Amino acid sequence: MTPDSPKTELSRPLQRVLVLHGPSLSHLGRRQPKIYGRTTLAQINSQLEALAGDLGLTVTCLQTNHEGSLVDEVLGAAAAGYVGILINPAAYTHTSLAIADALAAAEVPAVEVHLTNTQAREEVRRRSLTANACIGTVAGFGPGSYLLGLRGLAEAIGAAQPG
């Protein structure tokens, strides 16, 4: 580079966040829309991708109905280069010690999100086995819960925030 060459700033590689959607979330938009709304999972993922870019992050979004698959993804997140996990365990929130244990063992922070206010729903949905292993929980804001959760996770991991 000569003294007259323009300076180029090397950009920092985007930090990667793993977004995990639990059982039945693939049917958002058509599954009980009075409870879960009409926004589809693809729309939520698109919103997350857009926000992630603004936050200096990139997201990988995965949905599965299988508890073991969620456990495998959580336990492998750090080794795969993820710096955080955004997770909606869905019904497994209330039943899965395996996912709770995986989140506790994960080498990266996790934020739990829910579309509905689980505390205002049936008694069985008011207890989260997974929340204790997460740095925070966001619930009750519909698809916005995911966006709020991603913002909180970005702050926790020190990602670049928009100016």
Instruction: Identify the bridge partners of residue 59 per DSSP, sorted by sequence position.
Output: 17
Q: Which pLDDT tens digit goes with each residue over 98-155?
A: 999 999 999 999 999 999 887 656 676 667 899 999 999 999 999 999 999 999 999 9
Which residue has 């938009």 as its token pair?
29
**Nearest CA-CA partner of 14 in 156, 154, 131, 145:** 154
Q: Which two tokens stand for residue 48?
A: 């997350």
Tell me which of 36, 82, 92, 146 is the catalytic residue: 36
CA–CA gap between residue 141 and residue 129 (Å, rounded): 21
Contact 6, 142 (CB under 8 A): no
Q: Which pLDDT tens digit goes with each residue over 127-136?
A: 789 999 999 9
Q: Is 36 marked active-site?
A: yes
pLDDT of residue 6: 46
For residues 97, 94, 27, 83, the Cα torsion angle rounded to the nearest 10 degrees is -50
Q: Is 114 marked active-site?
A: yes
Tell me which of 21, 82, 92, 114 is the catalytic residue: 114
Contact 85, 107 (CB under 8 A): no
Q: Give me the domains of the chain, ranges plus CATH numbers.
A: 15-157 (3.40.50.9100)
The overall longest dimension of the chain from CA atoms, in Å, is 69
